[in-house]
Amino acid sequence: MSDSKEITKVIVTIVVISAVAAALLALTYTPTQAKLELLQAEQQKEAMKAILPQASDFEPVTGSEVDDDGNPVVLYYRGVDSSGNVVGYVVERNQVGAQGMIQLLAGISSDFGTITGFQVMKHSETPGLGALITTPEFQGQFVDLPVADTSLTKNGGQVDAISGATISSQAVVDALHSAVDYVSAQEG
């Protein structure tokens, strides 16, 4: 009988500790999530300014879909100068890389003929190999690169693939072409 009481006591203790831990986690989740979303929005705005520097503002273009909070889903952004003239577009694309999804923001000129740059927002590529898509050396190849030349050198383009990470390099190229095709279809 004594063993039964001890087991019950241990089980009750574990349940109480678990309940307290769950309550504390629930209390910290909401404020932390809100701060995280604010930080991600700031990072996105900085990335948009970096890849489309001639734009002074970014106007969201929304579709008919709404997110979980009832807000319209942003399809892409029109970059406008201080006079309100469209100088380019910024669009988010997701592309499968070697190890998982690569999420990037692509900058596109207003005539859809030039990649103005890109920023990787999230990825799970191999550190030291595919993760090098985030380096200035790799990303710098795409600044003001004509869309016609946005291919790996082995395919006749002007983009040097990362040694040992051809799949990741090709994924970036594919995402950028997808971005240009998407925005030009929407705007054209």
What is the Cα–Cα distance from 64 to 32, expressed in whole angstroms?
Answer: 30
Average the pLDDT over each of 58-72, 100-114, 148-162 and give the range with the smallest value: 58-72
Q: Give the model's pLDDT for residue 155.
A: 94
Q: Give the model's pLDDT for residue 50.
A: 95
Question: Which of the pair, 168 or 5, is modelled with greater confidence?
Answer: 168
Average the pLDDT over each of 36-40, 85-89, 155-159, 165-169 and give the range with the smallest value: 36-40
Q: Give the model's pLDDT for residue 97.
A: 94
Q: What is the mean pLDDT of residues 74-90?
A: 95
pLDDT in tens, 43-52: 999 999 999 9
Q: Is 83 helix (H, G, I), strand (E, B) or coil?
A: coil
pLDDT in tens, 14-32: 999 999 999 888 888 877 8
Q: Give the model's pLDDT for residue 35.
A: 86
Nearest-10 Cα torsion for 121, 135, 50, 73: -10
pLDDT in tens, 114-125: 999 999 999 999
Residues ≥6 apart with Cβ < 8 Å to 141: 158, 159, 160
Q: Are 182 and 90 in contact (CB under 8 A)?
A: no
Residue 106: its H or E element: strand 101-109
pLDDT in tens, 149-166: 999 999 999 999 999 999
Whether the pLDDT of residue 72 is over 70: the answer is yes
Q: Give the model's pLDDT for residue 67.
A: 87
Whether the pLDDT of residue 1 is over 70: the answer is no
Give the position of tokens 């890849």: 51
CA 133 to chain centre: 13
* Band of pLDDT at residue 64, cut at 50, 70 and 90: confident
What is the Cα–Cα distance from 134 to 50, expressed in whole angstroms?
Answer: 14
